[in-house]
Structures are given as C-alpha cells and as structure tokens.
C-alpha cells in the first residue's frame, strides 16, 4: 500500500522552545508575548524581536487564523499545501493546510489549528478549513 | 564617504561549463579566478584582497587562498546566499577606497548537477540550530514553494497573472538563443510557459531557473590600475545592501529588500531608475524579477505585471532590456547562486561586448541586482550600479 500522507519530520526541540512543543503535545498552540512592548511574535524567542526585552511570556492562542498565502507543491510524490496563516492574535506562521481538498484552498480562508504527529518528535501545528 | 568612482571592475569571467563532472569545486573556483585575471590583464600575484561566500569549500577564504596560493591583506566572506557576490563588489570598492587592498578577487563555483542535488524541490535544511528550523522544516519548505507563496500573494493582491510572469521567461529565452553557452537556447512562448507542468502553484516548470554547474569571477581594482589595463573601464557608481526577514511574524510577501538596497545604491550613484539602460535582475524564478523591478522603482508597486509583459524586457524590442545572457532562467545559475553572473553580463553590456543581437545601444549605465535566501521572508538583497567611463 502506498502512503497517502506525507511523512512529517519532527521539529528539533531546544531549551528555549521546549514549552511550545510540550504544549503542542497537549493540543495547545502557544504564542510568545512581550510584557514590555506588548507585541506578540512567532517563531518564539526568549528575547523580543521588536524591543529587545527578555520579559517575554507564553500565551495560549485561540488556534483560529486566516490563510495569508499558500502553494500546493504538485511536484512532490504526495502533493501538500504549504501556507502562511495569520493567527487571530496577530503573528503569521508557516504551516501546512491539511485534511481538505487542496484545490479549494484560498487566500483569506478561515482556518483552525490541528496537531499532526511527526515522525520523530512532538506533534506539529497545522491548519484545516474552519467549519 | 562614498564609493562612487573609487573602484572599477577590471575583469570578469563566466565559467563555460554547465556540468562539471571532471572538476573539483576548488578547481572551478580557481579556473574562474584565472579567467577573470586573464580578462583584466592581471596575475595572481597582483591580488591582495579575496572575497567568497558559502559555496567556497572548506574554510572558505582560508581554504581557497591556500589552494590558489594567494597572498592577502584583506579577506571578506560575507554570506547572503545568491546575492553575496553583488555585495562583494560593493565591499571590495569600500576596501579599495580605504586603501585596504588594491586588487580584489571575487569567486563563485558549484556543481549541483554533477552532485545530483535536488535544488529546488527538496526541503532545504540549514541545520537544527537555525532558529527558524523547528518552526518551518516540518512543513516541507522548498525553494520553489516558498517563492511560489510570494507569487500567489502578489496575484491575489495586485491581479498579476501567470501570462505576465511568463513574459519574463519569454524575454530570457529570446536572449539565450544567441548565447552559445546557455543551457536552454530554444525560444519559448507565453503559451509554452503557462502550459508547462505546475511545480508549486502558481509557478510552472518554465517559471523556474536552470540548475547548472560552473562558476564565475570578478576583479575589482583602483581606478588608476584599471586605466593602466587594456580593457574598457567600468566604474562602480553605487551599491546598496539590505536584509529582509520575517519581523517576528509580521510577514509581508509582496516586497523584497530591494525596496531598501535600491534607493541606497541610486542615492550613492546620484541616479534614478530612468537613467539605467540595462538591468541584470536575479531570476531564480520569474516572480523574483517582477517583484524586484517594482521594488527598485522601475514601476509602481503592483504594476510589475504590466511592466514585464509584451516583450518589454527584450533587448531591441522593449524599454527595459534585462538579462541579455539568458539569465538564470535560460543560461546559467552556477551553484544555485545567480548574483555573480548578473554582474558579469552588466559589465559585458557596459563594455559593448554583449552579443551583437542583444547589445543595448549606448549602454552607459547598468544595474545588477542579487537576491539570496527565501523571497520576501529571509533574504539578502544587493543592488549595484555601474557606469561606463564616460557616464
């Protein structure tokens, strides 16, 4: 039987980002927020990329977002959709759009987070069209 | 302090190979270096500054100085992907203006074809310690699908079409037919491009550059040395560099760092886009050219589709002749890094040594632009403006 889903390489976890992946394992999407300038950012850093403060905290995101851009990689053995999704909380993140008809993905579409098992690491946040 | 007219490009060389089965990587660098030195009428003993980037083997500048037998008092290994070599020309001009070196050698080489590298279609892994790696690699980011997302957004926001992008490849192919070294010499039509297989929506196979082995080299030197040589003098008039990144998640795929590197270079040169007779624009993909031309000010943001359509980039036909060697789309993209060959063709144009069928008349001002990394997210941009000695 040929595989129908792409194998997802596991993300490498380091001390700075471990809380993100620990939360992902429990189905929660975290976003870093700076307590000094108030900006949220992604990918998560210990030091705020907007003001340089080290007073950053983990906040739970709603998991809702909209598709900023996407591309279906037709050339791959198993075609998949890479995308940038803008979270309701502000930051835009790279992701995949999954569990849907890839031909019907559109910019501006509402999506919600789902977590997909990776091959050799924690589950990774992906998005699927919101009902 | 400005670098304007403080340094000249005295020698250029584009390695003629497109598949280097019988040469090593260091050898390709050295063959390119000797080609540019011969073009300039200089020798290895004249070189006292060396510039290379991430494609150089081993310890980069150290390994190549060792292999070639260079005696150096200045070395610069600035790495901004395919834009590195355009930046190197600006940095070499700075070093020469400050008296840090007299003859700067820049080299590039690679053998992705001979090594069977899946250049655009396999996810790139820059190592697990790259801070973005864990938040991107799992999603299968390749060169082509990342550039494709910029194209998709541009189409959505500005109504750019696949046919407009196709005109960029059509223009490149019109030029490549006259280049005996070009990998792809057959002319193509807009229909050929849009009917070629989709690689990553909305980019077709013919929206993508070629994969080639080879290399190239540039010699930058003091004006008084350049004038003592037999080749036409090409002056460095202005240079700009910029790094654009993801701004903590405030991602905007509709523009590149050319929005900043362009005005910097034009201000230094004291020129405007309308003064430029010929442009070499990094063309990893058709979309790269379109967005870059907008950002450099050759048209308003969002109007790039109209600018490139209907043959406007074809030498002798349109108003803005570009990549008259066939560019990365048809001629050559050595080491998957196209910045150096952009400078080489601009120098050929300024010397009046481009193929007669594509030579721009009275080409006194030329611009070369490099892009390295992922378009509009994490990349280096470099703009270089050069002039003929009478410009």
DSSP class per residue in chain A: ---SS---PPPPP-TTTHHHHHHHTTT--EEEEETTT--EESS--SS-TTT--S-EEEEE--SEEEEEEEEEETTSSS-EEEEEEEETTS-EEEEEE-SS-GGG--TT-EEEEEEE--SSSS-EEEEEE--
* Residue pLDDT, tens place only, A68-126: 999 999 999 999 999 999 999 999 999 999 999 999 999 999 999 999 999 999 999 99
ipTM exceeding 0.90?
yes
Supply the pLDDT for residue B364.
Answer: 98
CB spacing of A71 vs B149 below 8 angstroms:
yes
What pTM value is reported for the model? 0.97
Is residue B121 within 8 Å of A75, Cβ to Cβ? yes
Nearest to B201 among A12, A72, A94 (CB): A72
Report the phi/psi class of residue B197: left, alpha or beta, with left for phi > 0 and alpha for psi in -120 to 50: beta
End-to-end CA distance of chain A: 31
Q: How far apart are CA B144 and CA B342, in angstroms?
A: 20
Q: How far apart are CA B277 and CA B366, in angstroms?
A: 6
Nearest to A12 among B134, B139, B253 (CB): B134
Residue A1 has pLDDT above 50, yes or no: no
Please list, residue by residue across B28-53, b when 16 or more beta carbons sit within 10 angstroms of its beta carbon and e when fewer do. Answer: bbbbbbbbbbebbebeeebbbbbbbb
Q: How far apart are CA A128 and CA A123, in angstroms?
A: 15
Is residue A126 within 8 Å of A83, Cβ to Cβ? no
Nearest to A70 among B136, B152, B246 (CB): B152
Interface residue A33 vs chain B (CB under 8 A):
no
CB spacing of A74 vs B132 below 8 angstroms:
no
Residue B61 has pLDDT above 60, yes or no: yes
CB spacing of B138 vs A49 below 8 angstroms:
no
Residue B60 has pLDDT above 50, yes or no: yes
CB spacing of B156 vs A69 below 8 angstroms:
yes
Q: How far apart are CA A42 and CA A94, in angstroms?
A: 9
Structure tokens that stand for B307 in this block: 């600018």
Task: Return the residue of A nearest to B135 by Cα.
Answer: A43
On chain B, the residues whose CB falls within 8 A of the CB of A94 are 135-136, 139, 141
Q: Smallest Cα–Cα separation from A73: which of B148, B118, B287, B378?
A: B148
In the structure, what pLDDT confidence band is assigned to residue B231 with cuts at 50, 70 and 90?
A: very high
Interface residue A78 vs chain B (CB under 8 A):
no
Structure tokens that stand for B308 in this block: 């490139």
Interface residue A131 vs chain B (CB under 8 A):
no
Please list, residue by residue across A11-24, b when 16 or more beta carbons sit within 10 angstroms of its beta carbon and e when fewer do. Answer: bbbeeebeebbebb
Residue A2 has pLDDT above 70, yes or no: no
Largest CA distance in chain B: 56
* Residue pLDDT, tens place only, B159-175: 999 999 999 999 999 99
* Residue pLDDT, tens place only, B103-153: 999 999 999 999 988 877 788 777 888 999 999 999 999 999 999 999 999
Residue B327 has pLDDT above 60, yes or no: yes
Nearest to B145 among A14, A73, A121 (CB): A73
* Residue pLDDT, tens place only, B346-372: 999 999 999 999 999 999 999 999 999
Structure tokens that stand for B180 in this block: 């005996």
**Minimal Cα–Cα distance from A1 to chain B, Å?**
23
* Residue pLDDT, tens place only, B271-303: 999 999 999 999 999 999 999 999 999 999 999
On chain B, the residues whose CB falls within 8 A of the CB of A79 are none
Rounded alpha-carbon distances, angstroms, from residue A16 to A35, A45, B119, B368: 17, 7, 31, 40
Is residue B227 within 8 Å of B239, Cβ to Cβ? no
**Minimal Cα–Cα distance from A40 to chain B, Å?**
8
Is residue B110 within 8 Å of B55, Cβ to Cβ? yes
B146's CB contacts (< 8 A; 6+ apart) are: A71, A82, B374, B375, B377
Per-residue pLDDT averaged across A22-48, rounded? 98
Residue B342 has pLDDT above 50, yes or no: yes
Task: Return the residue of A nearest to B147 by Cα.
Answer: A71
Residue A41 has pLDDT above 50, yes or no: yes
Rounded alpha-carbon distances, angstroms, from residue B364 to B149, B157, B226, B282, B312: 37, 36, 17, 20, 20
């Amino acid at each position: 039987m040929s595989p129908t889903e792409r194998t997802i390489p596991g993300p490498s976890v380091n001390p700075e980002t471990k809380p993100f992946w620990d939360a992902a394992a429990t189905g929660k999407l975290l976003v870093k927020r700076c307590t000094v300038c108030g900006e949220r950012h992604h990918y998560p850093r210990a030091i705020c990329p907007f003001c340089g403060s080290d007073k950053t905290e983990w906040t739970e995101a709603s998991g809702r977002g909209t598709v900023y851009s996407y591309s279906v990689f037709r050339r791959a053995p198993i075609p998949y959709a890479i995308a940038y999704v803008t979270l309701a909380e502000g930051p835009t993140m790279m992701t995949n759009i999954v569990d849907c008809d890839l031909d019907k993905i559109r910019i501006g579409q509402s999506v919600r987070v789902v977590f997909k098992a990776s091959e050799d690491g924690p589950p990774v946040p992906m998005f699927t069209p919101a009902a | 302090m400005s670098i304007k007219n403080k340094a000249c490009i005295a020698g250029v060389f584009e390695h003629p190979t497109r598949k280097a089965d019988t040469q090593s990587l260091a050898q390709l660098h050295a063959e390119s270096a000797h080609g540019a030195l011969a073009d300039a009428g200089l020798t290895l003993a004249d070189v006292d500054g060396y510039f290379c980037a991430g494609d150089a083997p081993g310890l980069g500048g150290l390994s190549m100085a060792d292999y070639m037998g260079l005696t150096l008092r200045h070395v610069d290994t600035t790495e901004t992907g395919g834009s590195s070599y355009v930046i190197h020309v600006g940095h070499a001009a700075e070093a020469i203006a400050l008296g840090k070196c007299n003859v700067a050698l820049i080299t590039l080489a690679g053998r992705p074809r001979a090594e069977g590298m899946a250049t655009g279609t396999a996810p790139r892994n820059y190592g697990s310690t790259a801070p973005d790696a864990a938040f991107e690699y799992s999603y299968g980011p390749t060169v082509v699908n990342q550039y494709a997302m910029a194209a998709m957004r541009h189409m959505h926001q500005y109504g750019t079409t696949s046919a407009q992008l196709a005109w960029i490849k059509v223009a490149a192919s019109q030029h490549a037919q006259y280049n005996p070294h070009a990998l792809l010499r057959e002319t193509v039509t807009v229909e050929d491009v849009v009917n070629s297989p989709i690689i990553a929506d909305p980019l077709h196979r013919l929206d993508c550059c070629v994969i080639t082995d080879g290399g190239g080299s540039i010699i930058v030197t003091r004006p008084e040395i350049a004038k003592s040589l037999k080749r036409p003098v090409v002056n460095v008039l202005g240079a700009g560099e910029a790094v654009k990144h993801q701004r903590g998640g405030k991602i905007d795929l509709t523009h590149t760092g050319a929005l900043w590197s362009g005005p910097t270079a034009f201000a230094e040169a004291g020129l405007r886009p309308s003064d430029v007779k010929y442009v070499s624009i990094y063309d990893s993909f058709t979309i790269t050219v379109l967005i870059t031309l907008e950002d450099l000010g050759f048209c308003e943001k969002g109007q790039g589709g109209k600018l490139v359509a209907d043959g406007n980039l074809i030498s002798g036909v349109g108003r803005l002749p570009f990549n008259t060697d066939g560019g990365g789309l048809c001629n050559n993209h050595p080491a998957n890094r196209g910045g150096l060959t952009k400078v080489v063709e601009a120098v050929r144009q300024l010397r009046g040594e481009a193929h007669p069928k594509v030579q721009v008349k009275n080409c006194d001002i030329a611009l070369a632009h490099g892009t390295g990394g992922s378009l509009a997210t994490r990349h280096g941009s470099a703009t270089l403006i050069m002039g003929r000695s009478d410009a």
